[in-house]
Chains A and B, each alone.
Chain A
Amino acid sequence: MMVGLYRAEFSDMKLALLSDIHSNLHALQACLAHARAQGAQQFAFLGDLVGYGAQPAEVLECIMALQGEGATVLRGNHEQVTLAPPDVVQQIGDMGAQWTHSQLSTHQRNWLAQLPLTHDLGAVLLVHASVNEPERWRYVDSPMAATASLDAARAWPQVRYVFGGHVHAQTLYYRGAVGQLMPFQPQAGVAIPVPRHRQWLATVGSVGQPRDGNPQAMYALFDQSAALLTFHRVHYDHAAAADAIRRAGLPQFFATRLEAGR
């Protein structure tokens, strides 16, 4: 009964979808403020909360507090690496993982370890990467990969919407006239009708590390009762976020890519 009641309430709320925050507190706060100004009452964090950025502990503190107020939080591949960082640094990301590990409290690490890979909210299924074997972190970067993810979501018969992150790009996949999935590049700030008689899959982009040449943070806002999905780009102080990375002694590349949005 309680679950049913919760779902009925949820469907009337605007849900902010935030993914790939990557320890970027400046970007996270800007997106949260933007989403609240747009009327968001519910928040979902789709994984990769940490890694690359300079403020993992602060970011987790913020997200844990929101979870206490009802936010959904998922685990991403960077959580996985942070919990068990490689002993030998093989690639540039590994260096950040060891550092991040050292920054987190035991309590925070334990919290990360119990995060789920998927979460279903009735018509909405949340995942970090692909619903198709979520633990393998497949990139949903093509209609084929999106089809595999949506097909796997059939295990939840009610699901009409799959929202994920991982690819750091905002794309909406929809069924074209003949039924196969087609990618659509959304225009930031435009509310797109996503009626529930169709199936939709969206990658909501990255809050903390945009890579499309535009340093503005990305997130999406879903209004289920109106069946509208809006992709947003949010200006934030990326210079401050980059400075924090340099001060923390993390690789310079992590800082410059925030400034360039690459």
Chain B
Amino acid sequence: MKLLTPGSELDGFTIGECIHSGGMAHIYHVTYAQGRHNPGFPMAMKVPRMASGDGAENIISFEVECQIQQVLAGSHVPRFVAAGDLERMPYLVMEYLAGRTLQHWLDAPQPLDVNVITRLGVAMARAAHALHLQNTVHLDLKPQNVLFRPTPGATEPAPAAQPLGAFGAAVLLDFGLSHHAHYPDLLAEQLRKAVGSPAWIAPEQVVGVRGDPRSDVFAIGVMLYQLCTGELPFGEPQTAAGMRQRLWIDPVPPRKRRADLPAWLQEVVLRCLEPEAAKRYPSAALLAFDLSHPTQVHVSERGTNTQATPFLTHVKRWIKAAGMHYQPSPVPSQQIEEVPIVMVAVPYRDATDATLYSLRQAVARSLGTRPGARLACVTVIPSSLSNTTSEERSETQLHRRYLTQLHQWAQPLDHPGRQSSCHVLESGDVAQALLDYAVGNQVSVIVMGAATHGLKTQRFIATVPIKVAMDAPCTVILVKQTLPFAQLAGAAEDDTDPRGGALVDPRGPGAALYGDDLGPLG
């Protein structure tokens, strides 16, 4: 494919300057030719190199990219504009994004701040999760393919001059090796072989597995390892046998290479790099969760260890890995549905024992069928509660108090192997705080009481549960109390559910409790 001349026209696009001239493709700035309004964002055209002698895989990979790019949506991928006919004039026009790729951070002269590494990791994991939810696995995540948007609103200075800590959401590029579960996999073949970039490829990809979202978790792990240590965990093997080594070899613990790294971060990175996909984070959302809640990470020997793995262990694993072979992957969206993040909103006050009990039962049910699920218990306290002058009501004291309360509530839900954590948020707007938390952590299910968080005002204003249910990005389970303990005890409490209470009221159905407290929702 010869270079396109700036100023020439192609299928209604005016070719601009050539931005990139790589081994696989040329990329040009383009605008719509006269007569069409530009879409409101800059555009770039990718034209694959397809001169005679070019490998067929390059063409197929471009076809895959066109196919997948067209159906992806959301802020973590460039927007699709147009694709040229593959037989006549192959090209792909998409949104041009200003920003820096991860390579920019890897090129930094000094070791990166842990906080910056963590935030880069969270951004990458969120972007990957957004992709997995669309039944697509990237399979070629590497520093050149992850771009970070400039911080929102920042126009000056130019992206390259921004400080290392200033960046926005991650955008994933180049879907040439990706896999979409709803389309035939054009890159698959009977003789399964490795498709990917040697430094970042996951062990299962080495044996030809395409379509497991945990392969992307592995690649993010490799990039986190690079950010932490400046080194590649498995080097850059040139042969298939070299790539197979990651099926049994542990990388050198990052803390051996950089002593000031916290153990929790090593724990997270090495969990991403587990040779067996089943031992990694089951979803990118769970990786993002751990990276954003360092104090909640359960640190095992994997995190604290600073010694290289003994030779004998590697030999044993090598024997095990020899049996590793291709297995088809389940559909990504189904696979990550099996490992949801379940969030429960526990009121910090005014909740009856019955409500708290029912809430816990509902959470136990939601978690029950999914051993890989993660639980996040959240309490929102009003900001006015804390008081900077009084020692007893200082922010930390209050947080500690409510955190303890939350831990006590959650304790019966503890289960070996289950990951759970407790969080006290401070906000004047309870519903918004819960929603923000759910969005920020890719929560899959929110469990909350139907009549908690301000029952008395229910008839007059949109209550917290209603607002959360209406605006939540995910499923919301509203729990009604099953056993009104307060009723059994005889004394009517303000917060009890009147209709539920009437069923067991010793005075018979329809007694006094049906008074003027009966709200529209019961």
Contact = CB atoms under 8 A, between A and B. Distances in A.
B164 to A, nearest CB: 40
Interface string A184-224: 10110010110111000000000000000000000000000
Interface string A150-187: 00000000000000000000001010111010101011
A172 B184 contact: yes
Contacts of A172: 184
B57 interface: yes
Interface in A83-135: none
Interface stretch (B188-196, B274-282, B353-361): B188-196
Contact of A182 (B60, B86, B87, B188): B188
Given A193-B67, A195-B63, A197-B87, A180 B182 contact: no
A195 B56 CA distance: 16
A178 B195 CA distance: 13
Contact of B60 (A177, A184, A196): A177
Given A182-B188, A192-B184, 6 more contacts: A174-B184, A174-B186, A182-B190, A186-B182, A196-B87, A197-B86
Interface residues of A: mostly helix, strand, loop or mixed?
A: loop
B87 A176 contact: no
B63 A177 contact: no
7 contacts: A174-B184, A176-B189, A178-B189, A178-B190, A184-B184, A192-B184, A197-B87
Contacts of B514: none
Given A176-B190, A182-B190, A187 B60 contact: no
A192 B135 CA distance: 14
Nearest to A175: B186
Contacts, number: 45
Contact of B57 (A174, A177, A187): A177
Contacts of B181: 187
Interface in B150-183: 181-183
B50 interface: no
Nearest to B188: A176
B187 interface: yes
B147 to A, nearest CB: 26
B313 to A, nearest CB: 36
B182 A176 contact: no
A187 B334 CA distance: 13
Contact of B187 (A177, A187, A195): A177
B211 to A, nearest CB: 12
B184 A180 contact: no
Contact of B183 (A176, A180, A192, A196): A192
